Amino acid sequence: MSVKTEIAAAIALALYGAAACAQGQKPATHYWMSVETRNMTIPGMSAEDSAMMAAMGRDMPGAGPQRSIMLDLSVPGQQPNPDATHDIPPGQNMGKTLPLKTPVSAPTRSTETEPYEKPRGRMLIYWGCGDTVGQGQPIVIDFANMDPAKINMPAGHVGTVPRPPAPARDRVYATWPYERNTIAVPRDSSLVGDHFVHGNYPPDIRFAVGANHDFMPPVMFSNVAGGLADAINFQWDSVAPATGYFAMAMGGTDKGSEMILWTSSEVAEMGGGLTSYLPPAQVQRLIQERVVLSPQTTRCTVPHGIFKSAQGAMLTVHAYGGELNHVYPPKPADPKARWDPEWYVKVRLKSTGMTPLGAEDGAGRGRGSSRSSTPQSAPAQKTPEPARQDASPNPLDAVKSLKGLFGL
pLDDT-derived band at 110 (thresholds 50, 70, 90) equals low
Phi, psi of 320 (to 5 degrees): -85, 140
pLDDT-derived band at 108 (thresholds 50, 70, 90) equals low
Neighbour tally for 3: CB within 10 Å: 16
Residue 14: is its pLDDT beyond 90? no
Give the residue from 235, 264, 265 showing the smallest Cα distance to 371. 235
139: in domain: yes
**Which of 227-236, 266-275, 379-388 has the weakest average pLDDT?**
379-388
3-state SS, residue 74: strand
Taking only Cα atoms into account, the Rg of the chain, rounded to an integer number of angstroms, comes to 23
pLDDT of residue 169: 80
Residue 7: is its pLDDT beyond 60? no
- Biggest CA–CA distance in the chain, Å, is 67
113: in domain: no
- In the chain, the number of structural domains is 1
Across 4-8, 123-127, 183-187, which has the greatest mean pLDDT?
123-127
Q: What mean pLDDT, rounded, does the chain reach?
A: 81
pLDDT-derived band at 314 (thresholds 50, 70, 90) equals very high
pLDDT of residue 144: 73
Residue 46: is its pLDDT beyond 90? no
DSSP state of 95: -
pLDDT, one tens digit per residue, over 349-370 is 999 999 999 865 544 444 434 4
Domain span at residue 279?
A: 3-103+118-375+386-406
DSSP state of 1: -
pLDDT of residue 343: 97
pLDDT of residue 17: 46
108: in domain: no
Full-model pTM: 0.81
312: in domain: yes
Residue 298: is its pLDDT beyond 80? yes
23: in domain: yes
